Structure 1
Amino acid sequence: MTKKRDTVTYELKKGNKVVYVGTTNNPDRRAKEHKSDGKDFSKMEITSRKMTEDGAMKKEADRLKTYRKNHKNKNPQYNKDNDG
């Protein structure tokens, strides 16, 4: 059985600053959830094509690893742990 390819990776940005990296299968709903959680961001940018949930989670973890490498081993403001 083929796994569904309905999940994307995304970044929340405040200006050009990345404040969160995540995955979702419903970007509109997820953006509203982040707003209602009090996250301060100006836009949600989809950063991948649709893929399986496993593939998206791996891409998210890789993106966070790269982010930390370029930001003194710190996550984006709203990411709590190292794999999303």
Structure 2
Amino acid sequence: MTKKQDTVTYELKKGNEVLYVGTTNDPERREQEHTDSGKQFGHMNITSRKMTEQGAMKKEKKRLDTYRQNHGGNNPKYNKDDDG
């Protein structure tokens, strides 16, 4: 049996600034949840094709690792921990 491939990685951005990196299987719902929680951002950018949840989480972690390497070890503004 194949694993369900319905999850994507995404970034919340304001201009070129990445404010959050995450995964979801429902981008529209997740974008609204971020808005409702008070996060200030310009747009949501889907950064992957649909994949398994495990694959998306692995890609998210790699993206956060790269972000921290390029930003003095800091996470994007709205990511609270190293796993997203």
TM over 0.5: yes
Regions of 4+ moved over 4 Å: none
The CA distance in 2 between the partners of 1:37 and 1:18, in whole Å, is 17
Q: Secondary structure at the residue paired with 1:65? A: helix
Deviations 1:47-66 (A, max 9, x none): 00000000000000000000
Q: Give the 5 Å matches for 1:36-75.
A: 36-75=36-75
The CA distance in 1 between the partners of 2:38 and 2:15, in whole Å, is 17
Which runs of no fewer than 5 residues in structure 2 stay unpaired?
Answer: none
Q: What is the RMSD computed on CA atoms of the aligned residues?
A: 0.4
The CA distance in 2 between the partners of 1:2 and 1:81, in whole Å, is 31
Identity %: 71
One-letter code aligned to 1:15: G
The CA distance in 1 between the partners of 2:50 and 2:21, in whole Å, is 16
| Residues paired across the two proteins, number | 84
Q: In the alignment, which residue of structure 2 is the partner of 1:78?
A: 78
The CA distance in 2 between the partners of 1:56 and 1:24, in whole Å, is 8
TM-score by length of 1: 0.99
Q: In the alignment, which residue of structure 1 is the partner of 2:8?
A: 8
